[in-house]
Every structure is written in C-alpha cells, then in structure tokens.
C-alpha cells in the first residue's frame, strides 16, 4: 500500500529530526571522549586535540545546526537571533582552533620537530585558515551594505556552501588526527572505528541539514 505524500513528509521530517539529535549527541560525546583521552593540562600538546575537537566537532556542528528547521535547539528564536548565535559559535570555534594550532606549534618548537610534516597538520592548517576566511566572509552578511553590488541571497548561498566546505575540511583533519601515533596508541580495535564514525556521521548530517535548510528558506520566502 503506497504512503500518502503527507505521511512520507512526516516520516522524512522525523528521520531528519532523529539524525539531527544524533549529530548533537555525537558531537558532544566525541569531544568529551577526546578530552578524557588527552587529559588537558598534562602537557602543552594535551590541549591541542581538545581545542580542535571543541572547534570542529562541537561548536561548528552546533553553529550549522542552528538554522535547521528540525534539529535546531533554538527554534524558538527569531531568524535574527539564530544568526547571532551562529556567528558567536563560529567565532568561538575559530578562537579555539587558533589556540589549538598555536599550542601544537609551540609543542613542536620545544621538541625541535618539523611543522606541517603530516597530512593531518596540512589539513588542519587549511581548515583553520578556511574558518578564518569564512568568518571574515560572514561580516558581509552581518553588514550587507559593505557589499552593495552583491545580492543578499547570493551572499547567503556562497557563505553556506563555503561553510560546508570548511566543516568538511575540519572533519577531514579530525579523521587524519585519529590516524596519528598519539591516538592509535591509546585507542585501538572497535573503539577506534567507533571514533572514526563520529566525524563521518556528523558530516553526513550537516551536509543534508545545510542543503535542506537553504531549500527551506527559499520555500518560505515570498
């Protein structure tokens, strides 16, 4: 028996809500797991994985899900209120990423090790630089009069697309970090595969939620 369009819509929204809830829990759980594993404060390096996970796993995930019609924890706020929360979370993520990058540079200097010698380091630097550019681009949305020749709708589309790319770069850096000697020495077997699934799951959810949030905004706009 074929399902009605209304029933299919309800099922689809329920699935998206469930996936969004899973993304919230996984982003938080993964960050806590890494914090317990790294024991921040035990060394300069110990802060690096914690801050990077806080930036790219938790804060950026929450910043992007703010606009999801099904998964946002701030649905009661106005569009302007959610936008304010978005840029605050993104700015905090950038600050954490910059601090995490600075501490690992300091750690390598102390040990006399080469910088950017691994794919993880290269991807991490690219992700941090992209996040900085993304935040700078967000200023154009906060103050659209700075870019009078650009239609606001196009600026939002470019910003959302660029933000998704930046999020995926951050997730790629986290995945490469889980292949490092530090992580593989502490996490092995099934636990390692479960950890790897965390940024994969959140990335899939974010890709779906961001694209659908943009389509949703277009549908409700007059």
Closest CA to 57 of 178, 205, 210, 202: 202
Q: Is the pLDDT of residue 86 over 80?
A: yes
Q: What is the pLDDT of residues 149-160, one digit of tens each?
A: 888 888 888 898
Q: What pLDDT does residue 168 have? A: 96
**Domain 1-7+19-219 is in which class?**
mainly alpha
Q: Is the pLDDT of residue 122 over 80?
A: yes
Structural contact between residues 91 and 135, judged by C-beta atoms closer than 8 angstroms: yes
Share of the chain above pLDDT 70, in %: 92
Which three-class secondary structure state does DSSP give residue 4?
coil
- Calpha distance 202→194 (Å, rounded): 13
Q: What pLDDT does residue 17 have? A: 87
Q: Mark 77-102 as b/e (b = at least 16 C-beta within 10 Å).
A: eeeeebbebbbebbebbbebbebbbe
Q: Is the pLDDT of residue 65 over 60?
A: yes
Q: Is the pLDDT of residue 71 over 90?
A: no
Q: What pLDDT does residue 1 have? A: 46
Q: What pLDDT does residue 142 have? A: 85
Average pLDDT of the segment spanning 165-175: 97
Over the chain, what is the mean pLDDT?
Answer: 89
Confidence of residue 61 (pLDDT cuts 50, 70, 90): very high
In terms of Cβ atoms closer than 10 Å to its own Cβ (0-12, 13-18, 19+), residue 33 is middle
Q: What is the pLDDT of residues 172-216, one digit of tens each?
A: 999 999 999 999 999 999 999 999 999 999 999 999 887 776 655
Domain boundaries, the chain: 1-7+19-219
DSSP assignments along 23-68, one per residue: HHHHHHHHHHHHHHHH-TTSSHHHHHHHHHHIIIIIIHHHHHHTT-
- Confirm whether pTM is higher than 0.85: yes
**Most confident option among 14-23, 89-98, 204-213:** 89-98
Q: What pLDDT does residue 204 have? A: 95
Q: Is the pLDDT of residue 96 over 50?
A: yes
Helices (H), the chain: 5-38, 44-53, 60-65, 79-111, 119-142, 152-177, 181-186, 189-220
209's CB contacts (< 8 A; 6+ apart) are: 16, 19, 20, 23, 64, 65, 68, 70, 71
Among 14-23, 112-121, 177-186, 204-213, whose mean pLDDT is lowest?
204-213
């Amino acid at each position: 028996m074929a399902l009605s369009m209304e029933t299919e819509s309800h099922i689809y929204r329920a699935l998206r809500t469930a996936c969004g809830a899973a993304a919230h829990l996984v982003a938080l759980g993964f960050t806590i797991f890494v914090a317990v594993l790294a024991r921040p404060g035990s060394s300069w390096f110990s802060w690096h994985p914690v801050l990077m996970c806080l930036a790219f796993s938790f804060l950026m995930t929450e910043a992007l899900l703010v606009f999801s019609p099904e998964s946002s924890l701030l649905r009661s706020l106005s569009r302007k209120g959610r936008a304010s929360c978005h840029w605050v979370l993104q700015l905090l993520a950038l600050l954490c990423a910059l601090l995490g990058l600075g501490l690992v540079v300091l750690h390598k200097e102390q040990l006399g090790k080469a910088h950017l010698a691994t794919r993880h380091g290269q991807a991490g630097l690219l992700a941090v630089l992209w996040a900085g550019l993304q935040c700078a681009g967000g200023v154009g949305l906060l103050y659209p009069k700075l870019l009078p020749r650009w239609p606001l709708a196009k600026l939002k589309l470019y910003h959302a697309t660029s933000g998704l790319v930046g999020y995926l770069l951050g997730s790629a850096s986290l995945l490469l970090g889980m292949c490092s000697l530090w992580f593989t020495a502490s996490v092995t077997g099934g636990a390692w595969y479960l950890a790897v699934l965390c940024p994969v799951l959140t990335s899939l959810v974010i890709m779906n939620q961001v694209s659908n949030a943009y389509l949703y905004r277009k549908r409700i706009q007059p």
